[in-house]
Amino acid sequence: MSEMKTDAFWMPFTPNRSFKAAPRIVERAEGIYLMTKDGRQVIDATAGLWCSNAGHCRSEIADAIHQQAKKLDYSSIFNFGHELSFEYSERLVKHTPDGLNRVFFGNSGSEAVESALKIALQYQRARGKGSRTMFIGREKGYHGVNFGGISVGGIAPNYQSFGQPVKSNHMRHTLDIERNAFSRGLPEHGVELAEDLERLVAFHGADQIAAVIVEPFSGAGGVVLPPKGYLKRIREICDQHDLLLIFDEVISGWGRTGSAFASIEWDVTPDMMTSAKGITNATVPLGAVFVQDHIYNTVMNAAPEGMVEFFHGYTYSAHPVACAAGMATLDIYEREGLLTRAAGDIGKHWENALHSLADLDNVIDIRNYGLVGAIELRAPAELKGKFGAKASAAAWDAGVMARGIGDALCMSPPLIIEEHEIDTIVDKLRGVIKSMA
Ligand SMILES: Cc1ncc(COP(=O)(O)O)c(C=O)c1O
């Protein structure tokens, strides 16, 4: 490692100076395993950043990327098209909830969010409600790092240096360890927190609000699951006040909860839904917004014939190589039943295995759903809010990649994981958590 220069690369969301003092370098990956530069095998219990859902280095995706790059590497997507983008879109919307039949592409979750917010504004204008320009997000929400996303997001350090340039306000988050600790699946308590949306509507006036945006469960906020009935109530309040509801399914999509999307799993249909990450099994960057027909039609019909209806798009929207990667990813998801696998025995095993750690004194909450989960640790006073990072570093040394968020260890393993591999993760974490008591 001594020959590797680390000066030039400014790493994202990383304490650069401490990382560069002791780099943790991943060299190869296969299935659920990462191979490090120093010759260790580590279990990827986070599927990268909640994204390598079918496991790493799937050869049929690699082959599809290679073939597409040789056939059509790129062609303008403004005013010209390529067939694969249409074919892929038709195939994608077979998996989305009812009515979400239109798809707009970007290159990341952040771009999907920006696109969704702009579609919401365009739609409100198109139907003559141009005063509706603000958004309601939620505390602990993460919607990427662009200016719209940080404005509607609710993780303080992500916006404190940059402000909240897009007009937004935030509902209360739903994490309630006091009442819901050690819930298996959706927590019992907290449906009443949805009424916080009513408070904000009364405060700002419905005629100012374009849309409400939430993750069905908060991922980067620390795996915060919605209380039973909460999302349905949010939907009802949106309908009552004629507000659009956007679900950010960048993490919760593509099988994480046991259905293709959390909106299907929890039977609440949004007006728009963002996606990225698992859409291509994280091989080629791709983001997408799925949009209800009525929104698309309203925007189309408001523009004169022959005019651009929506002044928005990216050079790489529907990039051919990303579409090819996405098609091959769908082949795997469909053939291997990965989009619903977490709803079966493996999800139950995950739940039981995680909750087997409840006997450890310094574990104060375990929460799980499908193939996602978090273990909340009791942090010493001086490390409160930062203990997860310390636990994550210890887990890495023990051979497990788990994400530290606040005082929790958060995990979302590849959906191909087997029971014995879950047991190995939990065995290793038992040692790590005990050593931190
Ligand atoms: C819910 C959610 N939305 C948006 C994003 C941003 O995605 P990206 O990092 O691809 O821009 C993320 C990333 O973790 C996310 O979890």
As a whole-number percent, the residues of the chain with pLDDT over 90 amount to 99
The answer to whether the CB of 250 is under 6 A from ligand 1 is yes
**Ligand 1 centroid from CA 143, angstroms:** 6
Q: Which of 83, 88, 57 is nearest to 71 (CA)?
A: 83
Query: Which option is the CATH number for 16-57+340-435: 3.90.1150.10, 3.80.30.20, 3.40.630.30, 1.20.1250.20?
Result: 3.90.1150.10
Query: Which option is the CATH number for 63-128+174-203+221-338: 1.10.10.10, 3.40.50.1950, 2.40.110.10, 3.40.640.10?
Result: 3.40.640.10
When pLDDT is averaged across residues 298-309 and rounded to a whole number, the result is 97
For residue 428, pLDDT beyond 60 = yes
When pLDDT is averaged across residues 330-355 and rounded to a whole number, the result is 98
The per-residue pLDDT for range 83-140, each reduced to its tens digit, is: 999 999 999 999 999 999 999 999 999 999 999 999 999 999 999 999 999 999 999 9
When pLDDT is averaged across residues 390-405 and rounded to a whole number, the result is 98
Judged on CB neighbours under 10 Å (0-12, 13-18, 19+), 370 is: buried
CA distances from 198 to 10, 142, 228, 239, 283 (A): 42, 22, 18, 12, 41
Q: What residue spans define the domains of the chain?
A: 16-57+340-435, 63-128+174-203+221-338
**Ligand 1 centroid from CA 149, angstroms:** 9
| CA angle in degrees (0–180, nearest 5) for 345-332-102 | 105
Handedness of CA 57, 61, 63, 65 (dihedral sign): negative
* 3-state secondary structure at position 135: strand
Q: How far apart are CA 232 and CA 226, in angstroms?
A: 10
**38 DSSP assignment:** T
When pLDDT is averaged across residues 400-406 and rounded to a whole number, the result is 98
Helices (H), 72-176: 83-92, 109-126, 147-152, 156-160
The answer to whether the CB of 271 is under 6 A from ligand 1 is no
The answer to whether the CB of 276 is under 6 A from ligand 1 is yes
**399 DSSP assignment:** T
pLDDT band at 2 (very low <50, low <70, confident <90, very high): low
For residue 1, pLDDT beyond 50 = no
Residue 170 parent element (H or E) = strand 168-171
The per-residue pLDDT for range 24-51, each reduced to its tens digit, is: 999 999 999 999 999 999 999 999 999 9
- The structure's pTM equals 0.98
Q: How far apart are CA 164 and CA 137, in angstroms?
A: 12
Amino acid 3: pLDDT: 80
Amino acid 254: pLDDT: 98
When pLDDT is averaged across residues 383-398 and rounded to a whole number, the result is 97
When pLDDT is averaged across residues 314-324 and rounded to a whole number, the result is 98
**193 DSSP assignment:** G
**Ligand 1 centroid from CA 179, angstroms:** 29
The per-residue pLDDT for range 245-291, each reduced to its tens digit, is: 999 999 999 999 999 999 999 999 999 999 999 999 999 999 999 99
CA distances from 279 to 227, 248, 254 (A): 27, 13, 7
The per-residue pLDDT for range 165-222, each reduced to its tens digit, is: 999 999 999 999 999 999 999 999 999 999 999 999 999 999 999 999 999 999 999 9
**Ligand 1 centroid from CA 343, angstroms:** 23
